[in-house]
């Protein structure tokens, strides 16, 4: 018999908050986490704006030795996992930790470490490359480090599907619990790729906004959008089998009721222009949840602020939801946080949970110029008070990866 899956813990660190409370306050107060690059000297780059985790000092979270042995992406992952785990109230006394999985993804992995060690290799020679280079940089290490610190001994995997990575992690965690393979899964994503090579790669691809106005850089669905703003951070959700959560008296935030994933099979970076792949992922999620399109109250769109993404996602939503797409509230919170790449879906899932809890639809901030082709019910600039029972969150990644999850008020 299929089991019900609920969310019992949340954690986050990102450009608008160092925990879930600060993050949600930032969303409600329309905080924009975008500002000038400070993590490296950006002179000569065409990109001047990113969304960094502000005033971050690893020594506040880790001892000196540990901070040197953890890539920034693993640091963020551990910080958000600690918060989510504490929030869940799970202990070895109330939960068999052998049945707690860790599904934590990163789109790129330890890119800052890779850049630094390649520079050392080039300048100082191969004998000076750190023995910690590989363990710090490979994309599974955030999951591995969380498992080691928290003593979680269930299945540990890292799904890498570019910007859909952490939504895939949540979806696969949901399926794993639904079919009885684990009682609990820590699911989420982390990313820290704001460095010279990371910005150069996306900049030369012409994917990044070149605006120098922080209020007009990440502007999803706005007609003047011209690229995404790279963000960083991590978010984690504790997914748990319902009866297990009830037995230990856990606080239940929401229920995960649907997941759908597809591939465009079209292009390495561009989405399929007809939106077919994204639409089919949404349809799969809706069918998995046994819903009708009109049951959905709010969609947190992938909404990256690139010309192609926002247009094709609009087409996908209209194809998947039909007439219901005209009245469902849609927003993208990447105007607040920038685009956290592989961690985006997890952060947006946390925001969706809080939206359900507070009965508040997050706005698409800094939205000014309507795009006639992006003709959804985009929520502009101000949050909307609304009873929210069912939310869909979309993530679309390079390589044509599409993933949608559906959350329900418990």
Query: In this structure, what are the phi and psi dihedrals at residue 161, rounded to the nearest 5 degrees?
Result: -135, 45
**What integer pLDDT is reported at residue 323 of this predicted model?**
96
> What DSSP line would sit under 223-254, residue for residue?
TT---B-BB-EEEEEEEEEHHHHHHTT----E
> What DSSP line would sit under 177-217, residue for residue?
HHTTS-SEEEEEEEE---SHHHHHHHHHTT-B---S-TTSS
Confirm whether pTM is higher than 0.85: yes
Taking the C-alpha atoms of residue 23 and residue 86, their distance in angstroms, rounded to an integer, is 17
In the residue annotation, 339 being an active-site residue is answered as: yes
Q: What is the per-residue pLDDT across 273-331, written as a single tens digit (0 to 9) for each?
A: 999 999 999 999 999 999 999 999 999 999 999 999 999 999 999 999 999 999 999 99
Bridge partners of 364?
A: 380
Of 168, 244, 302, 401, the active-site residue reads: 302
**What integer pLDDT is reported at residue 149 of this predicted model?**
98
Q: What is the per-residue pLDDT across 200-212, written as a single tens digit (0 to 9) for each?
A: 999 999 999 999 9
CATH 3.40.140.10 fits 5-247, yes or no: no
In whole angstroms, how large is the CA radius of gyration of the chain?
A: 20
In the residue annotation, 195 being an active-site residue is answered as: no
Topology (CATH level 3) of domain 257-408: Peroxisomal Thiolase; Chain A, domain 1 (3.40.47)
The domains of the chain are located at: 5-247, 257-408
The length of the chain in residues reads: 410
**What integer pLDDT is reported at residue 115 of this predicted model?**
98
Of 32, 163, 195, 352, the active-site residue reads: 163
Residue 217: partners with Cβ closer than 8 Å, 6 or more residues away: 34, 49, 209, 211, 229, 305
Q: What is the per-residue pLDDT across 84-139, written as a single tens digit (0 to 9) for each?
A: 999 999 999 999 999 999 999 999 999 999 999 999 999 999 999 999 999 999 99
Report which of 330, 244, 306, 331 is spatially closest to residue 7, judged by C-alpha positions. 244
Classify the phi-psi angles of 137: left when phi > 0, otherwise alpha if psi is within -120 to 50, otherwise beta: alpha
Which 8-state DSSP code applies to residue 289? T
Pair 238, 385: CB distance under 8 Å: no
In the residue annotation, 302 being an active-site residue is answered as: yes
Q: What is the per-residue pLDDT across 320-353, written as a single tens digit (0 to 9) for each?
A: 999 999 999 999 999 999 999 999 999 999 999 9
129 SS3 class = coil
**Do 5-247 and 257-408 agree at the fold level?**
yes
How much is the mean pLDDT over the chain? Answer: 97
pLDDT for residue 1 is more than 90: no
pLDDT band at 241 (very low <50, low <70, confident <90, very high): very high
Report which of 181, 172, 179 is spatially closest to residue 154, judged by C-alpha positions. 181
pLDDT band at 54 (very low <50, low <70, confident <90, very high): very high
Of 168, 195, 244, 339, the active-site residue reads: 339
User: Percentage of the chain with pLDDT > 90?
Assistant: 99
Mode of pairing for the β-strands spanning 298-300 and 329-331: parallel
């Amino acid at each position: 018999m299929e089991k019900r899956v609920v969310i019992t813990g949340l954690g986050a660190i990102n450009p608008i908050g160092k925990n879930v409370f600060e993050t949600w306050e930032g969303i409600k107060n329309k905080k924009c986490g975008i500002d000038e690059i400070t993590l490296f000297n950006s002179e000569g780059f065409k990109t001047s704006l990113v969304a960094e985790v502000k005033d971050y000092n690893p020594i506040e979270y880790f001892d000196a030795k540990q901070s040197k042995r953890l890539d920034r992406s693993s640091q963020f992952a551990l910080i958000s996992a600690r918060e989510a785990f504490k929030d869940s109230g799970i202990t070895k006394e109330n939960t068999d930790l052998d049945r707690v999985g860790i599904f934590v993804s990163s789109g790129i992995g330890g890119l800052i470490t890779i850049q630094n060690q390649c520079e050392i290799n080039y300048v100082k020679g191969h004998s000076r490359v750190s023995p910690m280079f590989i363990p710090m940089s490979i994309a599974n290490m955030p999951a591995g480090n969380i498992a080691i610190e928290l003593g979680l001994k269930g299945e540990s995997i890292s799904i890498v599907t570019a910007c859909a990575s952490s939504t895939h992690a949540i979806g696969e965690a949901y399926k794993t619990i639904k079919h009885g393979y684990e009682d609990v899964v820590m699911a989420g994503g982390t990313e820290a790729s704001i460095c010279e090579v990371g910005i150069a790669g996306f900049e030369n691809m012409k994917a990044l906004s070149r605006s120098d106005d922080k209020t007009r850089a990440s502007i999803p669905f706005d007609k003047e959008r011209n690229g995404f703003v790279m963000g960083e951070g991590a978010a984690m959700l504790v997914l748990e089998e319902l009866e297990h959560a009830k037995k230990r008296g856990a606080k239940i935030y929401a229920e995960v009721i649907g997941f759908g994933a597809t591939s465009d099979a079209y292009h390495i970076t561009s989405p399929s222009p007809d939106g077919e792949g994204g639409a089919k992922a949404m349809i799969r999620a809706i069918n998995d949840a046994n819903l009708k399109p009109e049951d959905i109250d709010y969609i947190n769109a992938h909404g990256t602020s690139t010309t192609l993404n926002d247009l094709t996602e609009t087409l996908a939503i209209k194809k998947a939801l039909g007439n219901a797409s005209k009245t469902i509230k849609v927003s993208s919170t990447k105007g607040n946080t920038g685009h956290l790449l592989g961690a985006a879906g997890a952060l947006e899932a946390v925001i969706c949970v809080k939206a359900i809890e507070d009965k508040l639809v997050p706005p698409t901030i800094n939205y000014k110029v309507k795009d006639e082709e992006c003709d959804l019910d985009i929520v502009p600039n101000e949050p909307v008070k609304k009873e929210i029972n069912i939310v869909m969150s979309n993530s679309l990644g390079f390589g044509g990866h599409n993933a949608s999850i559906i959350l329900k008020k418990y």
